[in-house]
Amino acid sequence: MLAAYLVDQKQTEDLDLIVNDIAHELYAQSGHLAVSVTSARKLTNNVRAELITMLRTGTSAKHVELSEHIDPTLLGGLVARTPNAILDVSVRSQIKQLSTI
């Protein structure tokens, strides 16, 4: 039904957004939180555990699923993206903030 409506209304380019919203809502209702984490280097077990604990506390999620990515241009730190928020504690963003002062 939804697919037919999107085709009829010529809104098929929005399909990815809609699917992501539905997936996020299903995850949220079941206590899951999907987080995309980009860091300059592979996360250590301690950093991973601390990040999961912080995300559980801040969102009341029962389960946190991390999708980890490496981006050496961050220099250090990490960027964690949830469907609703971004936590950017990367060195690159800190340098950008300092350059605007």
Taking only the tens place, the pLDDT of each residue in 15-53 is 677 766 666 666 666 788 889 999 999 999 999 999 999
- Each residue's pLDDT tens digit, 66-98: 999 999 888 899 999 987 889 998 888 888 888
Q: How remote is the C-alpha of 18 from its chain's centroid?
A: 16
CB 3 within 8 A of CB 19: no
The pTM for the full model equals 0.69
65: β partners? 34
d(CA 57, CA 51): 10
Beta-carbon count within 10 A of 33 CB: 22
d(CA 23, CA 45): 27
